[in-house]
Homo-oligomer: A and B are copies of this chain.
């Protein structure tokens, strides 16, 4: 069922990937949601830094490899049916490429509820 050697079986389904939610381990804030393959989970466990799979670029990526905004993963949790993960992280800088701490910085009605923690123009050239 799972291609990850762990106590909890993961189910990557037909697509070969599942969503992983990055959550600030201290504040509980949800920082971002991205997708992971078995390889991304393995690399995350090996390095202690969050890795994901980019659906558009079709490649494994390490969060913060370009920006320096690395996520140190303190714990990985799996849900009851093994098809979603939480990365509980210590986030350097901000998670969002817009400069906000969290990618979920707006309500659906357009109200800004998040905090901008860096200037994206200074980070991404």
Task: Contact check, A79 vs B104: say whether CB atoms are below 8 A apart.
Answer: yes
Work out how many copies of this chain go into the complex.
Answer: 2
Q: Which of A19-27, A46-54, A57-65 contacts B (4 or more CB under 8 A)?
A: A19-27
Report B-chain residues with C-beta under 8 Å of the C-beta of A103: 79-81, 84
Interface assignment of A108: CB less than 8 Å from any CB of chain B: yes
Report B-chain residues with C-beta under 8 Å of the C-beta of A27: 28
Closest partner residue, chain B, to A105 (CB atom)? B80
Task: Contact check, B19 vs A110: say whether CB atoms are below 8 A apart.
Answer: no
With A21-B33, A28-B27, A29-B28: A7-B108 Cβ-Cβ less than 8 Å: yes
With A23-B30, A28-B28, A28-B29: A80-B108 Cβ-Cβ less than 8 Å: no
CB distance from A23 to the nearest CB of B (A): 6
